Amino acid sequence: MGRMAKDKFVGELTTHELTTPALSPIQPNRWLRPLLLFGLLILILAAIFGDIITTGGGRLYVAQRFQTFVTIFLGIFIEAVPFLLLGSIVSGLLAVFVDQSMLDRYLPRRAVPAAFSGAALGLLFPVCECGVVPVTRRLYEKGLPMSMGVAFLLAAPVINPIVMVSTYAAFGWSAVLWGRIGFSFAVAAIIGLIFHVAHPHKVLLPAVHQVHTDACNHHPPAPQQALWGRFQQALTTAGDDFLDMARYLIMGSLLAATMQTVIPQTVLLAIGQGAITSVLAMQALAFILSVCSTVDAFLALAFSGVFTTGSIITFLTFGPMVDIKSALMFLGVFQRRIVFYLIVLPLLLTLLIGVYWNLNIGV
């Protein structure tokens, strides 16, 4: 930002200094460190047990296992980076160019319209599960209603044009396509409604929700500033967002890659036929694989011959909402307790849908 604009704000300095300490409470150290240790522990266990469990123990077997782990980790990371980056840039632009009063004017505040429009918002912001997190966080800072943000966060990875097209490419006009779209919308809207009654300060991290209660935010962000300066500010904010979220993405990718290296897929695939067990198995698979929602339909197709239809729909509904990497990224927006709910609620609802489908509609 330019110097002139900066000078204009100096007068406000004293009042804001008081709030500064309260505004930097993310403290990733507190939980990132134990998580890191946990990851390393799994890694070590993987190296040890990987050799015992499997039959083909060559001389460099552990090294090869590690190599596989690194390849899968980098695969998930490299695949996700551009999408997280685009999400961060959208977030940065929102931060600088969208004023809270604009949102106040246009957004529905009542529970049902807010939750439903949140679930459909993905049609406007075609972001996948990596990009949606920074955008949601930014919108919350701008005063987005609780229910709308949650519905958007959960639905957008499916309710967007790109994912719909890829699902159509894999399954055609089938029950799976409509089931995926319909159930994603419904589950996201329902969970959004549940969150309507929640208070932002009990749900969001302090850093996310305090911003829009901060008196400072009612000043529009220096509209007199040159366009280029604001654009640069948007990019810097995007960079901050990216680095912030990338930490969670990396931790999530590390965990997902570890799980993939340690847990044999055959264990999960062996239980493909039961009406209930197949759904649980596909949920576990969706959670562990952490595949991007734009292509998970092709992956699901690979299982469609073996697994029940209900479990396939559950895989395609639950997976984009919650998986290892997105659950970790939620930690950058929500309090830990809430992240737990955001995993469990979709889990239970999609389990219900999958089992109901298997028992009553067809296998």
Token pair listed for 102: 């604009």
Q: Which residue, 196 or 325, has its beta carbon nearer to other proteins?
A: 325
Least distance between other proteins and beta carbon 116 (Å):
28
Q: Which residue, 110 or 202, has its beta carbon nearer to other proteins?
A: 202
Q: How far apart are CA 238 and CA 309, in angstroms?
A: 40
Least distance between other proteins and beta carbon 343 (Å):
19
Least distance between other proteins and beta carbon 196 (Å):
24
CA 125 to chain centre: 14
Q: Which residue, 197 or 227, has its beta carbon nearer to other proteins?
A: 227
Q: List, in sequence order, every residue forming a beta bridge with 334; answer none if it has no partner.
A: 204
Least distance between other proteins and beta carbon 57 (Å):
10
Angle between helices 175-196 and 111-120 (to 10 degrees): 140
Length of the chain: 363
Least distance between other proteins and beta carbon 68 (Å):
4
Q: What is the DSSP secondary-structure string of 226-293?
A: -HHHHHHHHHHHHHHHHHHHHHHHHHHHHHHHHHHHHS-HHHHHTT-SSTTHHHHHHHHHHHHH---T
Q: Which residue, 191 or 289, has its beta carbon nearer to other proteins?
A: 289
Q: Which amino acid, one-letter code, is at 163?
A: V
Q: Which residue, 138 or 196, has its beta carbon nearer to other proteins?
A: 138
Q: Which residues contact 272 (CB under 8 A, 6 or more apart)?
A: 278, 281, 303, 306, 307, 308, 311
